[in-house]
Amino acid sequence: MKRVVRFSPAVLLMSVLLAVSPRAEQNMDKTTCSLVEQALRDYRQVKNATTRGDVVKYFVPDGGLQFPAKTRYVHPRCEYLHVDVEFELVKPSEIASLPDDKVIGVSKLYVEYPAKD
């Protein structure tokens, strides 16, 4: 009897795990996953030594107050996916962001509400 009681929690745990696992796969939204996968592929293209012109091929500037030296971008297909990019400005005396500004730092891709203008 003690032997049955000792194995009961393990059997119960395995039953729950096996029952939940297939349902999680069935409920996976393929469209959402493909969007996140595309955003991750685009994110990998933004790296040090690329330019601002390269960044805007994959991301668009977020709303709100932005600065040329550090700009927040969102993925064009989902405004909740953000990345912050730091730049070395080719003309620091100018206020404008230039396409030739070099990327010197990239945050992780993260989820956040979009900025409001």
Question: Does 12 or 41 have the greater pLDDT score?
Answer: 41
Token pair in block for residue 48: 């040090």
Q: Residue 116: inside a domain, yes or no? A: no
Q: Which residues pair with 105 in a beta bridge?
A: 86
Q: What is the pLDDT of residue 8?
A: 55
Q: Residue 96: inside a domain, yes or no? A: yes
| Burial class of 56 by CB neighbour count within 10 A (0 to 12, 13 to 18, 19+) | middle
pLDDT band at 4 (very low <50, low <70, confident <90, very high): very low
Q: Residue 15: inside a domain, yes or no? A: yes
103-114: burial string, b at 16+ Cβ within 10 Å, e else: beebeebeeeee
Q: Residue 42: inside a domain, yes or no? A: yes
- Is the pTM higher than 0.85? The answer reads no
User: Count of domains in the chain?
Assistant: 1
Q: Residue 117: inside a domain, yes or no? A: no
Q: Residue 8: inside a domain, yes or no? A: yes
pLDDT band at 15 (very low <50, low <70, confident <90, very high): low
Give the start-end residues of each E strand in the chain.
Answer: 60-61, 70-75, 78-88, 102-106, 110-111
Range of the structural domain that residue 30 is part of: 2-111
Q: What is the pLDDT of residue 43?
A: 97
